[in-house]
Structures are given as C-alpha cells and as structure tokens.
A and B are shown apart, each in its own frame.
Chain A
C-alpha cells in the first residue's frame, strides 16, 4: 500500500483513499445521489402514504403512520376508532398528508387502467394528482417507485452484507493460510469430525435455524476442548496441514459453475415468496467475487513486514489474520461491493420482473416494469421503473469505478 507522504495532509490510508475518490467528480456526485436516494428509502413511509402524518378525527388527534411503526414493533395497538375508515375519503377535521397521498397498494378506482401523467385525471385537486400516472388497477406509480427504492436499497445492502461476511472470511482464510499454514493436531481434527457430525445431526433433528447454529458452534468448541484429552497419545499429537485454499477454491468453482440465476430461481421457486429470502439467496450466491479479491490481496499482504513482525512476536495466527491482515486488505473489496450492490439490485428487479420471489401484493421496480405491455398509455409504466433501476445501477457502477481509481494501485499515476 502506498501511503501519502505529504506533511500537511492526513496520512492514514483511508484519508488518502477519500482524497483520491473525491478527485473523481462523477463518482462523488453519484455518491451524493445515492445518499439522497437512501434518504427517500428511509423516509418512504412519510413521503408516500395514504395515511396522514397527523390527523384530527372526531375531536381526537392521531399519528397513523408512526402508530403503524409501533404496531409493527409490537409495542403499540392499532387505532380502534380509525379501523374502518377509508384513509383517502375520510372526513378528517384536519390532516397533514404526505407529499404523495397514496400508498403503493392504494387503488384509485377513478383512475385505473394506465392513466397518463400528462393527461386528464379524475382527482379532487392538484394535491391528489398522480404525478407519474397509475398502472392497470389504479395504483400510483410514483408511490410505488418511492417504496420500491426502499426494497431495492435493502436488497443491495442486506445481500451484500451477507456476501461480504462470507466472502471476506473464506477469501482471507484461503489467502492467508494457503494450503499448508493452517495446522491442527490429529486429535482436534478427529474430534471436529465427530462433534461436527453430532452437531449437524441434532441441528437438523430439531430443525430450528438459530438453535441449530448454536448447537453447531457448541460442538466445535467441544471438539477443541476434547482434543486435549487425546493429545497425550503420540498418533493424535501429530499436526497436519489442512489444505483450506484448495477446498475454498473448489467451493468457489462449484458455485461459479452453476448458473447463478438458475440457482436463485430454483431456490426461490420452491420456497414461499418473501423479499428477505431473495436477499439471503442473492447474498449466499454472490460472495465468490469478494472472496477471490480478498484472497489475492491477502497473498500480497501476508508476506509484508508487519505480518512477519507479528508472527515473530508470537501472536496466534487467527489474531494476526483478524486484527492485522484483514483490516489492511479490505480496501479493494469495497470496489467489488459497490459493483455487487448494483448487480444485486439488478437481480432482484429481474426476479420480480419474472414475478418470482416477492409476495404478489408487493410492488417493486421490476414488478411495476413487468406490468407494462405494448400500449401507448402503458409507456410510462415501462419508462419510470426501468429508469429507476437503470439509474441506481449506473450510480453504483460509477461509485465502483471511482473506488477502483482510488484504491487499485495498478492504475495509479
């Protein structure tokens, strides 16, 4: 890693990267736009909602949107008095409504069948206008786009978090330990196999994910402890190298060889549709690129002086890996993550375009786009969500390019 040496500038690696990144105006601008879209995603509920933010009904004041959060968190109760009213037509004494007074699932029965944003709309006033038109059953396109932003960003974020954790962990283990630097005594290995078997067996028998993970974890700790019992026997004392690099490389090869989209469609087609599942599956299938990247990076880092110094000081290998080697090599991984977010958003839109993975009532960008047929009036439903996908993907790609310029030493001038 080159580190900027100028005296007046902050010297650490990340401020250097930041400065380099800021030089790329397009990438910086993209980052700001992404930030703005993230705000839209966070505040989607108060930006587009059929419920008012504050309203007064028969003398009492209500906060319907915030109350819904409380209900979702199971610390509040829904307003019993407002249970049976129509949010749109109710006779509130006064109400402050969100800028877009429609939820993505609100059906405007007066304006169904692809009402154009520029044409005449049958609405009470300009306040109620569908600024980007409606789709076939009268749902507001703009509202769906705003809420779709949230889904798209969540997909990008969650799936790439999963992918990063797996990718960084496996990639760094492969790169750092190689084929002969991770050694364990035969005793520990033997115990690992036995307790691992029982761990997985009971995890599957009980069939609960969290409990299963705990059981597997406990069984591994147990293996380590039980290993000490066997160690006095000379045969078990011998240390052998575990070829982690080969194993992980094969795993990556397998995952890359199965057409990823098929794998995702296969898993999603057989399970109950849920957006969370889509995120997990995308995350579980897209870590290979990150792993390859960090593996290559660690191959470089592991022969640097500070790692040798740490080894000379007698620190345990795992500590060197987690505290010294990984923090000094995750920089370039940011590039893959940026491109990965773009890809994840694209995959999710693609899946919902095919109608897979999301519950039927949820409107995402891809789903909205799929509603467009060949008619002139449907043009808007095709253009807006498609553009939203395109824009988001482009922005993340631009950020990825900016990061490549800032982080990749090969391209430095």
Chain B
C-alpha cells in the first residue's frame, strides 16, 4: 500500500510539471502587457528626459516582476531570430520586432532601424510644443507610435509620407527633424533591400539556463512565494488566503449536507425500489440533477433575494459582523447571507450522489450474498445497513475525487452571482484582468487538490473493498 502511494506521488511530479507548463504557456501568449497594466502610465512625456524616465520606470517595474528574463530554459526558433530579443523592454515593440524578423529575417538592419526610430522619437519629444505647431506635433507623435507598432509595408510608407508632409509644414520642425526622418526612412528601406527571409527556415536552439521566468516562478512557487497580484500589488498569498476561507466554508458545509442527505435518501429509495415514494424521489432528483445552477441562482435571487417577490434573503455579499453581536447573532447573520448560495451549491451534487447511491444499492441488493443473508433469516434492517451499505459505498467514494474540481467550477458561478469574495470569483476576475500570478496559483492548487482527491479515493477504495489490491498488477 505504502509502495503504491509513493509510486502515485512520484507520478504526480511529471503531471504537475505539464500542468504548470500548460498554464504558463497560455499566460505568455496572452495579449496585454502586465507591466503597462501595473504602471498605468501615460506615454505623453514632455521631453526626451521625461520619456527616458518613464521608460526607465517601465524597465524597473519589468525587472521587479521578473519579466526581463527569458521565458523558458531554451527556445527553439530560427536563425533569423536573435537570442536576446527578450531584452527589448516593451512588449508591444518586441512583438512588432518579432513580426519584422519573420518578414525580413535580417536582425542587424532591423536593429539599426529600431534604434533610429528610438532616436527619432526622443528628438520629437524634445521639441517644445507651442501654439503654432501643437496640432502638427500631436500628429507626428501618433505617427512615431505607429513606427514602433507597425510592420505592414503599406502602412509604414503611408506613415513616412505623412511624417514628411507634417514636418514640412513648420520650419522649426523641418530643421530639427528632417534629416533624422530621412535616416529612419533610409534604414527602413535597408531592411527591405537586404532582406534574408530564408534564414528563418533554418532552426536554431538557444539555451538560456536557469535564469528564466518559468524557473523563477516554479521554484518560488514551491518555496511558498506566489508572487504579487498585477491588479493591486498585494501578495498573491494574501489574496488567495482571504478568498479561500469563503469557498472552504461554502464547500465544506455543502459537502457535509450532500453526503448527510444523499446517502440515506439513496438507501431509502433503493430499499423501497419501484414504490410510489421511490418514483417520486427519483423523478425529483433527476430534475434537480439537470437544473443548471446558474438558472437556479438567478431564480433564487429573483424570488427570494431582494427582487420584487419575497425579499427574504440578501443576495449580495456575506454580511457584516459587528463586534457587539453575540455569537448566536453572528452565526445567524452569516446563515442568513449564505443560505441561498449553499442551496445552489448543494442541490446538484445532492441529486447526483443520491442517484449514484440508489444505483449502487440496488446493484448490491441483487447480489447472491444478500439473498443468502435474507435466506438465513436476517431482518431487512441488518441486510441494508450491515451487509449492503459498505459495498454500495464504493462508487460514492470514487465520486469524492470529483468533488474538488466541481467545487471550484461551481464556485465561479455561485460566488459571481451572489458576490461572495471566494476563490471562484477571485479566479474569474483575475482571469479577466489577466492577473496571471493569481490565476497560476489557483490553477496549480486546484490541480494539486484534484490529484490528491484521486489518490484519497483510491486509498479509500481499497479500504472499503479488501479485494482491491494495488501492489500486485
């Protein structure tokens, strides 16, 4: 048994590693720039010094978040791609350069052009804005941004002619920018002339070592440091710890309720098989089982939670506890707030479990040893509770493994609908805000929980049914 558990735990490692890779891969490829998101800066710096300062702030933040490292231990790319493209700080510019390389395949020329665009943009920001050139300057700044973010030939040609005509409108602008613009345009044409697109057809392997984002994240994760939330800069640990409480309360209550009601109900139903009672219970359970929980949540809120019908239960939040309240009052407040969510949380699993219990019980009751037990004159109670129950529990136990993932996904909709600040709501909001440190951590934790759930189910399985042996195969 111990050997089996150890073996299973060993198998966990590659599985977890793959899950970590998958979530990480998704997060790297998402649109949006977390650094920009955290800085909330506007790029409209008054001078080149200001622009450089804001760029430095960006670089510092990027370093703080660990995003200035290469993504993974190695990268498989092509000969055209430089090894250190990740050193370009701004994500959108990096993506644009990536497209450039894919198109033309000559990093040297592209790099010269990129630096020239950078220089040109400093020149533009150094020009003081006055009443005569304000409008033109805004146009020029927009076009400079386009140079950073565009790679389409037609669009760039258009941008260059646009810049040229705008600069020509004002003599001060012309004197300070014309040559730089010409140089930029020349560099761009160089890219096109010296294009080597075939270079990208030869594969290249770049090795980065352990100084990479994935390594940093995964080692920190197992050290217990989950990073900081991109949304508000709080440590992920705090964010999740606060949220976990509510989901735990909800799910533990609902699991207990589910098993407490479902097991006796299933047994009762099976014992009175095909009676009117059984048919009634079975039909009700089947209907409950098919009811979508978000519909039930909507209807419960509509009818009982502050709608126009019966305003009995609050539909939002978890209630405010006053320190002056006695514990009964506190308990009562919480119950008052949590009763609707708990109903939503419980009914589906309850219906599912009762049906499984009934099926398993009926299956057991038709076995030969039960007939023997009855034949030797045991009363029905003893047959049910002593001989059938334990054997019928097997399918129920396997379901225990499915409870964890179910709870998390169930939590999303119920916490969202009833505005409970739990794991589901936190995860959902983090996902929408692309707050990946929070998302990673929750996904990893629920994966670990699920794997543990399967393991516990297997062990319980052997405990209930001694015929199942794991060591032999």
Could you list which residues of chain A lie within 8 angstroms of chain B, going by C-beta atoms?
197-198, 201-202, 205, 250, 253-254, 256-262, 265-267, 269-270, 342, 346, 349-350, 353-354, 366, 369, 372-376, 378-379, 382-383, 386, 389-390, 393-394, 397
Contacts and interface: CB of A to CB of B under 8 A. Distances in A.
Interface in B6-45: 11, 14-15, 18-19, 22-23, 26, 29-31
Instruction: With a 10 A CB-CB cut-off, give which of B29, B203, B290, B432 has the most chain A CB atoms.
Output: B290
A262 B29 contact: no
B49 to A, nearest CB: 37
A386 B451 CA distance: 34
Contact of A375 (B287, B307, B431, B434): B307
B292 A259 contact: no
Contacts of A269: 431-432, 434
Contacts of A389: 292, 295
B315 interface: yes
Contacts of A386: 292, 295, 298-299
B201 A205 contact: yes
B96 to A, nearest CB: 16
B439 interface: yes
Contact of A262 (B18, B31, B292, B443): B443
Contact of B305 (A202, A260, A374, A379): A374
B408 interface: yes
Contact of B200 (A205, A346, A376, A378): A205
A390 B447 contact: no
A330 to B, nearest CB: 24
B413 interface: yes
A376 B303 CA distance: 9
Contacts of A253: 15, 451
A257 B302 contact: no
Interface in B403-450: 405, 408-409, 412-413, 416, 427-428, 431-432, 434, 439, 442-443, 446-447, 450
A375 B302 CA distance: 7
Contacts of A374: 301-302, 305-308, 315
B299 A265 contact: no
A-B interface, 9 closest residue pairs, ranked by CB to CB distance from nearest: A386-B295, A374-B307, A376-B308, A261-B409, A394-B290, A270-B30, A257-B447, A257-B450, A393-B290
Given A202-B201, A259-B409, 7 more contacts: A258-B22, A261-B408, A266-B439, A354-B428, A386-B299, A390-B291, A394-B290
B292 A265 contact: no
26 contacts: A198-B203, A201-B76, A201-B203, A202-B201, A250-B11, A253-B15, A259-B446, A260-B405, A262-B431, A262-B442, A262-B446, A270-B26, A270-B30, A342-B290, A349-B294, A350-B292, A354-B416, A369-B295, A373-B307, A374-B307, A376-B309, A378-B302, A379-B302, A383-B299, A386-B295, A389-B292
B427 A262 contact: yes
B286 interface: yes
B439 A382 contact: no
B78 interface: yes
State the main secondary structure of chain A at its contact with B. Answer: helix
A250 B409 contact: no
A250 B451 contact: no
B356 to A, nearest CB: 13
Interface of B: 11, 14-15, 18-19, 22-23, 26, 29-31, 76, 78, 200-201, 203, 286-287, 289-292, 294-295, 298-299, 301-302, 305-309, 315, 405, 408-409, 412-413, 416, 427-428, 431-432, 434, 439, 442-443, 446-447, 450-451
A307 B307 CA distance: 64
Contacts of B14: 250
Contacts of A266: 23, 26, 431, 439
A261 B302 contact: no
A15 B184 CA distance: 76
Contact of B413 (A270, A353, A373): A353
A382 B434 CA distance: 30
A262 B409 contact: yes
Nearest to A347: B409
Contacts of B416: 354
Contacts of B309: 376
Contacts of A382: 295, 298-299, 302
A259 B408 contact: yes
Given A198-B203, A257-B451, A397-B286, A390 B292 contact: yes
Given A250-B14, A262-B443, A390-B295, A350 B432 contact: no
Contacts of A379: 302
A254 B18 contact: yes
A259 B309 CA distance: 36
A4 B18 CA distance: 47
Instruction: With a 10 A CB-CB cut-off, give which of A267, A354, A366 has the most chain B CB atoms.
Output: A354
B362 to A, nearest CB: 10
Contacts of A397: 286, 289-290
A349 B71 CA distance: 36
A259 B405 contact: yes
A299 to B, nearest CB: 14
Nearest to B294: A353
Contacts of B291: 390
A391 to B, nearest CB: 9
Contacts of B298: 369, 372, 382, 386
A253 B405 CA distance: 13
B367 to A, nearest CB: 13
Contacts of B306: 374
Contacts of A259: 405, 408-409, 443, 446-447, 450
A261 B407 CA distance: 11
Contact of A394 (B287, B431, B439): B287
Contacts of B26: 266-267, 270
B432 A270 contact: no
A383 B300 CA distance: 11
A349 B295 CA distance: 10
A354 B431 CA distance: 13
Contacts of B442: 262
Contact of A257 (B19, B315, B427): B19
Contacts of B19: 254, 257-258
A350 B296 CA distance: 12
B232 to A, nearest CB: 19
Contacts of B287: 394
B413 A350 contact: yes
Nearest to A253: B15
B347 to A, nearest CB: 13
Contacts of A262: 408-409, 427, 431, 439, 442-443, 446
Contacts of B432: 269
A370 B14 CA distance: 40
B72 to A, nearest CB: 15
Contacts of B292: 346, 349-350, 386, 389-390, 393
A260 B409 contact: yes
